[in-house]
Amino acid sequence: MMIARKKKNAPPGASSPEPGATVIQPGPQRLQKILAAAGIGSRRQCEELVKMGRVEVDKKVVTELGFKADPFRQKICVDGVPIKLEPPIYYAVYKPDGVVCTNRDPAGRTRVIDLVPESDRRLFTVGRLDLHSEGLILVTNDGALAERLTHPRYGVPKTYLVQVAGEPTREVLLKLQKGVHLAEGIARVARIRIRRKHKKSTILEMVLNEGRNREIRRIMARVGHKVYRLKRIAVGPIRLGKMKPGEARRLTPEEVAALYRAAGLASRLTGGAPKKRT
């Protein structure tokens, strides 16, 4: 049975932030950015609220657009109603076979977010693994980071162990790196190597910088090797390690910082502008 989520109180006119919304990091931020992250409206709408004198910080009306505040240390109100912000949350989860990544499942199956202790929060998975794939998946409410980690433009590597039928030849491995045609374009494996050989199957270690739907299963089918088992063991610098199926753990501040660096967002942790990738 699907777990119901608790609704939270919000200031008048506020809308629930959608996955991908900005999550405010601790420290001084522009007031309109904070208000937008709280679901008050778009940044432009929030700028108008500030200019109209409808925003207070520590009981003082603020009308300056460049004003910065720390929402986790100061009280910010719109029309006298305190805003509410969720602190950024980051989890590593070992998704078992049969668990879904979607937040809403009409069939009532177990979701990845159900495995997180704070599943009553507004959380979502960073990318997806299909129903019968397993392994590492990140769960967060930080949309800016999630977008960078999943978009192929930023090239954050994902590492998989893949058990396939038979033994792929060197030519097959080279073909996978050169590119395989799929309906939506050419899919390439960034790196691939044989980890172990069995009598009728082979364990491959594959690194992808993109994430098309069921990509590994599809490209392996194109080169004639059925996938028996697929497990993701790393997302950028975060590794599955010794986690067990169904286990979830909070990422350390050092791990979060490493993800931000991998995604080219390191300066966001100190409130600066994101670095441009070349």
Catalytic residues: 130
Contact in structure between 116 and 93 (CB atoms under 8 Å)? yes
List the one residue out of 161, 164, 168, 180 whose CA is nearest residue 234.
161
What is the Cα–Cα distance from 53 to 20, expressed in whole angstroms?
29
What is the Cα–Cα distance from 177 to 168, expressed in whole angstroms?
13
Amino acid occupying residue 183? A
List the one residue out of 185, 209, 205, 183 whose CA is nearest residue 194.
205
Task: Count CA atoms closer than 13 A to 192's CA, side-chain side.
Answer: 24
